[in-house]
Structure 1
Amino acid sequence: MLTFYKRYARTAFDIGLIVLTVFLIMFVSSFLFDIAAPILVGYVIFLIIEPFARFLNRKGLGKTAATTISTLLFVLVVVSVVFLAGAIFVLQLQNLIALIPEYVAKFQEQVMNYVHWGQLQLNALPPDVLQKAQDFSLTLVEKASFMLTAFLNSVFAFVTSIPTLVINFIIGIVLAYFLSIEIDMWKRIAEKRTPNTFKSAYYFLKENVLSGIASYLKAQLKLITITFVLVLCGLWILRVDNAFTLALLSAFFDVLPLLGVSAIFVPWAIYLFAVGESSLAISLLILLAVVMLVRQIMEPKITGDSLGVSAFTILSFMIISLSLFGIAGVVLSPILLILIKALYDHGYLSKWIHLPSEEFQDRNDRS
């Protein structure tokens, strides 16, 4: 055992140092994510408005005027979409929350009918079986109702408590506007004042990480859009009420790791089977199968090698990051994975982690 520790002491130290560095990066990034949210929002808005502003500037328009037009166009599109979609979503979400007691009562009544039918079929059972079944069904329904109501209320609270998001968005627009006007000045300052070591690190990140992040985000946005459109069209065909809100919730669950659209459709289908609406339940399961099949076909084509990391690694890292750093960890984990993958591909990890050569000597000889 002592020989093992001596042999792998340097390797363990190198790995521990890298893990500590990753932890510190995630910790500092999550802290900055919390205290500098408007700046991050502003930078994202800048990335959106700057291409069109540069295009107008190349056509002969002044940079200030070009940035103003690009920013106003961005605000107009975002406000229109958010206002219309938000109004529909909030209204339909209120309807869903109001209908929960009716759905719960209907489900409980159906469960009790099954219990009574079972008692008639099995008269030999002890008389307290019915009471236990009633108590169990009541507890189950109450817990399910509480969880569903709590979830919908939390979503409703998030949607209706938008003032902070609106303030961050407004500040972000202002920051993005001035950054777009002053970007050439900041580039000149960075070119003159930045040490060569930091320049090399930036170029490495730009070529190997930032492009991967952009590809990853585009791929996820395309997949979410496909899920939303499929679910919305399917629910419209089935004439389901509140289809827009249900499609948005499905797209939201599609983003979350280990959940997906099944988290909504499977419990919904079970409920419909229980209350006797088997045709709609079967239709929803068919719609779920179509959505999952389309995703399985489209996902490899859309995502491609945007990350180059296995799904198990991504989900595991996201879960750990969520537990340690909250939502910021989930957002930052794909970025860090892309960075680690780039460092591995370029041979930096093999230089930084010293492995005992005698452990791999036979393998090298065979190769």
Structure 2
Amino acid sequence: MKNRLKRLAIFAAAALCCWLTFSYLMPFIIAWCAALIIEPASKYLKKKYKIRRGFTAALGTVTIFGGFGAVIFLIIWRGILWLAEIIKALPQKLSGIPQLLNAAEERLYGFIIAAPPEFQDFLINAADKINDGLTALPARLYERLMGFLGSAFSSAPKIILFIIASAIGTFFLSAGFDEARAFIKRQLPEDINNKLEGASREAAAALKRWAGSELTLVGATFIQLTLLFIILRVKNPVFAAIAVSLIDALPVLGTGTILIPWALTEAVSRHMNRAVILIAAYLSIAAVRSFLEPKLLGEGRGPHPAASLLAIWLGFRLGGVWGMVLFPIGLMIIKRLHDSGYIRLWR
């Protein structure tokens, strides 16, 4: 009973820490991680060229956040141009839908007339509701899109403040990295410090393995998508492949969120060859990922799929898209620490 209460208390504390992290401390967690990335280069430059920490901290902060910002800006900019091209071509792609719907409606009403009289009223009401729903679908999609864009613009100041806090925190933590680490160590007993150092090494190894695996998987997906977009004569095939590959790296989402609706659109437009190519490409990408993932991450070494799904759901509820990405990574690190004996949360 005591062990169960202890485990429950640990899980409650972990949940509270996650909530606090995503609600209040996330900019400083990012700043600490960025300072850890800068630290090896900072040590090397100080030892080799006697460059002061303040300069290396500023240089590292500008490099990380400037580079990240430039990549995000480029992706958003090219994404907007790509989306504009898709929207421009959409009327032509969907020109066959009215004819298809009219044919389907004629067949449906023929089926209703042939049905027994006692079912005809029910079937007519159902058909009318479906027709009303399809008619209102474009307006609903437009409303959702405008709502999304409005929320994105309204949250822009919060995002900018978040980035500024992370960047300033990175600079100060990197400039005083030794002092910050020494201060933290002084607050903890020696045995806990030793465990934390070992746990940090294990966590770093898990993150390194995960990052290498994800880069390999994204690279394999990128190569296949580039070939696909060249075959389909898509404009800017390399950028399009990069964008879809990054979507594929996100939990739950994947290439199917882009390729399957695209294939359906092509099928509705009666471009069956393109639709078949898209479906075949999706199946090929999924097969390659399923083949490579166990070999890269290790059979049975990662969390159980159900636990990963739970982490994705909790992450989404607590932290949105960032939570969906970070919670499964955190679960992977926790399992690595549990397997190495640094923590004991389950049997």
Q: 2 CA distance for matches of 1:236 and 1:19?
A: 54
Tell me the CA shift for residue 182 of structure 1: 1.1
The answer on whether the counterparts of 1:38 and 1:172 sit within 8 Å (CA) in structure 2 is yes
Match of 1:286 among 276, 280, 291: 280
Partner of 1:275: 269
Secondary structure of the corresponding residue to residue 36 of structure 1: helix
Q: 1 CA distance for matches of 2:193 and 2:6?
A: 24
Among the aligned pairs, what percent are the same residue? 19
Secondary structure of the corresponding residue to residue 176 of structure 2: helix
Partner of 1:25: 14
What whole-Å deviation, never above 9, does each CA across 1:60-82 have from its counterpart, x for those lacking one?
24133333333343344334323
Match of 2:33 among 44, 55, 58: 44
Asked if 1:67 is matched to 2:57, the reply is yes
Q: 2 CA distance for matches of 1:14 and 1:151?
A: 50
Match of 1:136 among 116, 130, 134: 130
Cα gap change, 1:103/1:275 in structure 2, threshold over 3 Å: closer, same or farther?
closer
**Unaligned ranges ≥5, structure 2:** none
Q: 1 CA distance for matches of 2:339 and 2:86?
A: 49
Give the alignment's TM-score, normalised by structure 1. Answer: 0.74
Asked if 1:54 is matched to 2:54, the reply is no
The answer on whether the counterparts of 1:212 and 1:307 sit within 8 Å (CA) in structure 2 is no
Counterpart of 2:338, as a letter, is L
Secondary structure of the corresponding residue to residue 70 of structure 1: helix
What whole-Å deviation, never above 9, does each CA across 1:50-109 have from its counterpart, x for those lacking one?
333333223224133333333343344334323322211123335546766776675344
What whole-Å deviation, never above 9, does each CA across 1:192-246 have from its counterpart, x for those lacking one?
4432243133124213334323432443344345434533442243123686468
Q: 2 CA distance for matches of 1:77 and 1:345?
A: 35
Asked if 1:316 is matched to 2:310, the reply is yes
Partner of 2:250: 255
Matches within 5 A, 1:149-160: 150=144, 154=148, 158=152
Tell me the CA shift for residue 274 of structure 1: 2.6
Partner of 1:334: 329
Q: 2 CA distance for matches of 1:219 and 1:159?
A: 34
What whole-Å deviation, never above 9, does each CA across 1:267-313 have from its counterpart, x for those lacking one?
33233223312111111112212211221232223323795323333
Partner of 2:106: 116
Q: 1 CA distance for matches of 2:154 and 2:90?
A: 20
Cα gap change, 1:58/1:233 in structure 2, threshold over 3 Å: closer, same or farther?
farther
What whole-Å deviation, never above 9, does each CA across 1:100-152 have from its counterpart, x for those lacking one?
67766753442222333676799846898788646524524644873587369
Tell me the CA shift for residue 35 of structure 1: 1.4
Matches within 5 A, 1:1-367: 10=1, 13-64=2-53, 65-96=55-86, 106-116=96-106, 124=114, 133=127, 135-140=129-134, 142-143=136-137, 146=140, 150=144, 154=148, 158=152, 161-240=155-234, 244=239, 248=243, 251-252=246-247, 254-257=249-252, 259-304=253-298, 308-323=302-317, 330=324, 331-346=326-341, 349=344
The answer on whether the counterparts of 1:46 and 1:180 sit within 8 Å (CA) in structure 2 is yes
Secondary structure of the corresponding residue to residue 30 of structure 2: helix
Counterpart of 1:73, as a letter, is T
The answer on whether the counterparts of 2:224 and 2:285 sit within 8 Å (CA) in structure 1 is yes
Q: 2 CA distance for matches of 1:304 and 1:156?
A: 43
The answer on whether the counterparts of 1:41 and 1:168 sit within 8 Å (CA) in structure 2 is no
Cα gap change, 1:94/1:197 in structure 2, threshold over 3 Å: closer, same or farther?
farther
Q: 2 CA distance for matches of 1:267 and 1:168?
A: 34
**Unaligned ranges ≥5, structure 1:** 1-9, 354-367
Q: 1 CA distance for matches of 2:293 and 2:74?
A: 29
The answer on whether the counterparts of 1:41 and 1:172 sit within 8 Å (CA) in structure 2 is yes
Query: How large is the RMSD of aligned CA atoms in angstroms?
Result: 4.0
Q: 2 CA distance for matches of 1:130 and 1:240?
A: 43
Tell me the CA shift for residue 321 of structure 1: 5.0
Between Structure 1 and Structure 2, how many residues are aligned?
340
Cα gap change, 1:288/1:157 in structure 2, threshold over 3 Å: closer, same or farther?
farther
The answer on whether the counterparts of 1:42 and 1:169 sit within 8 Å (CA) in structure 2 is no
Tell me the CA shift for residue 253 of structure 1: 5.1
Moved more, 184-193 or 80-89: 184-193
Cα gap change, 1:326/1:166 in structure 2, threshold over 3 Å: closer, same or farther?
closer
Counterpart of 2:41, as a letter, is F
Cα gap change, 1:329/1:119 in structure 2, threshold over 3 Å: closer, same or farther?
closer
Tell me the CA shift for residue 328 of structure 1: 6.4
Give the alignment's TM-score, normalised by structure 2. Answer: 0.77
